[in-house]
Amino acid sequence: MAKDSFERPRAASAPAYEQVKGWIRQHIASGAWRPGDPVPSEAALMERFAISRMTANRALRELATEGLVTRVKGAWVFHTVLVHLENGVPIQYEDRYVNPQAAPAYLETDFTRMSPTLHLLQHAPLTEASYTIEACLPTPEEAKALDIKSGDPCLAMMRRTVSGANVASVARQLYPGTRYSFSGQFQA
């Protein structure tokens, strides 16, 4: 997803449904979402953008009319929201959607003993993955879960995994900026 923040775009002058449409278009145009990838549901858009169901429905309905998305009614996916801790400190907020065809026992898993990623690797062997990382601000719910302020910067990683011919999962993982640093070294 290139701009993977689920926050409402800053251009407040446009109607909310147009902002949602622009956000979805941006992800498709950037290649972050490819044909067959799921886009957030009405419920997910309502929560992420703090909009009504009618507004979310209008955005998706207009994109479908334009031929940019295909709406599928009644498609079931598993949804989990987990907060990962290290020594009692929240270090990651994970919001994940999983294709039940790829991992039918996903919701039966004890995630205090096995991470969702490990479960998926064991039950839906990875054949492709893509991700993007960007800076963002947490939603009030995410800030509360991570025990940070709403204005504290975070890193959001949007990750999509494929197993065989199926998208296995789409996850947004949020990391508090003050609790992480990234470094690397490469040699030829």
Total domain count, the chain: 2
CA 186 vs CA 180, 183: distances in Å? 20, 10
Domain closes at, from 51, 75, 99:
75
CA 37 vs CA 138, 165, 167: distances in Å? 24, 11, 7
Domain closes at, from 50, 75, 100:
75
Q: Are residues 60 and 97 in the same domain?
A: no
Q: Are residues 84 and 163 in the same domain?
A: yes
Residue 47 belongs to what domain range? 1-75
pLDDT tens digit at each of 188 positions of the chain: 333 444 444 455 789 999 999 999 998 888 788 777 788 888 889 988 999 989 999 999 999 888 888 877 667 889 899 999 999 999 999 999 999 989 999 999 998 899 888 999 999 999 999 888 989 999 999 999 999 999 999 999 989 899 998 889 999 999 999 998 878 888 88
The structure's pTM equals 0.62
Identify the CATH number of the domain in which residue 115 sits: 3.40.1410.10
Q: Are 77 and 34 in contact (CB under 8 A)?
A: no
Q: Are residues 82 and 70 in the same domain?
A: no
